Amino acid sequence: MSQDDKIDIRQLNIWFGEKHVIRGVDLKIKANAVTAIMGPSGCGKSTMLRAFNRMNDVIKSSKTTGDIFIGGKNIYDNNTNVYDLRRQVGMVFQKPNPLPKSIYENVAFGPKIHKMAKGKDLDKIVEKSLRAAALWDEVNDRLNDSAFDLSGGQQQRLCIARALAVDPEVILMDEPCSALDPAATAKIEQLIRILSTDYTVVIVTHNMQQASRVSDYTVFLYLGKVIEKGGTKAIFENPQHELTEQYITGEFG
């Protein structure tokens, strides 16, 4: 594995019950870059993403084989601490899902459960994370308001701030803009670009324009298999595989 690969996936297979959803995926994901996973609905994008922080463990019918190395450590090792893994590998979901708490407490939640800071230090982490998520200026005078009072776009940035607060290395985003209007989407996309200087970002999207706007690398997933992968520009301008070409020209989707 080369120095700048952050995630190394080897022979990943995932089933839900009898259904074979991810079928023998081998893939490397570059550090400090944005990688987009695109593909038609139901092809396994979310399932693959949720393998990177072992969120599929929560689903009783799921079964995973293969290995995923993150920063050189196999996260499917028996002695992996999943709680610690999920601190290192943050996740932003499709629908904004703030905790039923205040804005402040949403961001402070992660650092608190991982006993990372309290008091003044915690305040600093909250401010820093909200700034990094480009939300600080909009909420600094109402940190104690309920997170549900925010707009959808603000809630999603709060969810990003919340993920940043535990000092992760990787940020997974599952169609983070699908519930947002164009203005809010533009803000999040801008943010994703900025985040990639410090974090490894993996974003699932079935919006091709979005993939081409925000990502450095693109993976095309189809029926649980990686059909094509490479630099985003190369994939969009010169797809090697027929299926990829059909997908980006909008022939199916």
Partner 1 sequence: MNMSNKTLNKISSFFLNLKSQPMTVVLFLCASFSVIILFLMLFFVAREGALAFSQFGSDLFFGMQWDLESNLFGGFPLLYGSLMVTFGALIIAIPVGVCTAIFVSEVLPFYLRDPIKSIIELLASIPSVIYGFIGLLVVVPFIASTFGIVSGQTALTSSLILSIMTIPTIVSVSGEIISAVPKNYKEAALGLGATKWETIKSVVLPISKSGILASIMLGFGRAVGETIAVSMISGNQAHVASSYLDAVYTIPSFIAIHMGEAPVGSVEYSALFGLGLILLIITFIVNTLADIVVKRGVQP
30, burial (CB in 10 Å: exposed 0-12, middle 13-18, buried 19+): middle
The answer to the question of residue 46 lying near Mg ion (CB under 5 A) is: yes
Residue 211 CB, nearest distance to partner 1 (Å)?
23
137, burial (CB in 10 Å: exposed 0-12, middle 13-18, buried 19+): exposed
The answer to the question of residue 1 lying near partner 1 (CB under 8 A) is: no
| Closest among 241, 206, 231, 154 to 39, alpha carbons compared | 206
The answer to the question of residue 177 lying near partner 1 (CB under 8 A) is: no
Q: Which stretch binds ligand ADP (CB under 6 A): 16-24, 25-33, 107-115, 241-249?
A: 16-24
β pairing state of 73-74 and 89-92: unpaired
Reported residue count of the chain is: 253
DSSP character at residue 102: B
Binds 44: which of ligand ADP, partner 1, Mg ion, none (CB < 5-8 Å by kind): ligand ADP
Backbone phi and psi for residue 217, each to the nearest 5 degrees, phi listed first: -125, 150
Q: Which stretch binds Mg ion (CB under 5 A): 38-46, 56-64, 97-105, 179-187?
A: 38-46
- Of 158 and 226, which CB lies nearer to ligand ADP in the complex structure? 226
Torsion angle of the four alpha carbons 213, 188, 30, 85, in this order, in degrees rounded to the nearest 10: -160
Burial annotation 185-222 (CB, 10 A radius, 16+ → b, else e)? bebbbebbeebbeebbbbbbbbebebbbbbbbbbbbbb
The answer to the question of residue 53 lying near ligand ADP (CB under 6 A) is: no
| Chosen residue from 2, 41, 78, 79 binding ligand ADP by CB under 6 A | 41
- Which residue type does 33 have? A
Q: Which stretch binds partner 1 (CB under 8 A): 96-104, 129-137, 206-214, 233-241?
A: 96-104
Q: Which stretch binds ligand ADP (CB under 6 A): 43-51, 84-92, 163-171, 208-216?
A: 43-51
| Closest among 182, 201, 251, 246 to 220, alpha carbons compared | 246
Binds 21: which of partner 1, ligand ADP, Mg ion, none (CB < 5-8 Å by kind): ligand ADP
Using CB under 8 A, list all residues that contact partner 1.
53, 55, 58, 60, 82-87, 90-91, 93-95, 97-101, 109-110, 113-114, 146, 148-149, 159, 162-163, 166
Using CB under 6 A, list all residues that contact ligand ADP.
16, 19, 21, 39, 41-47, 59, 61
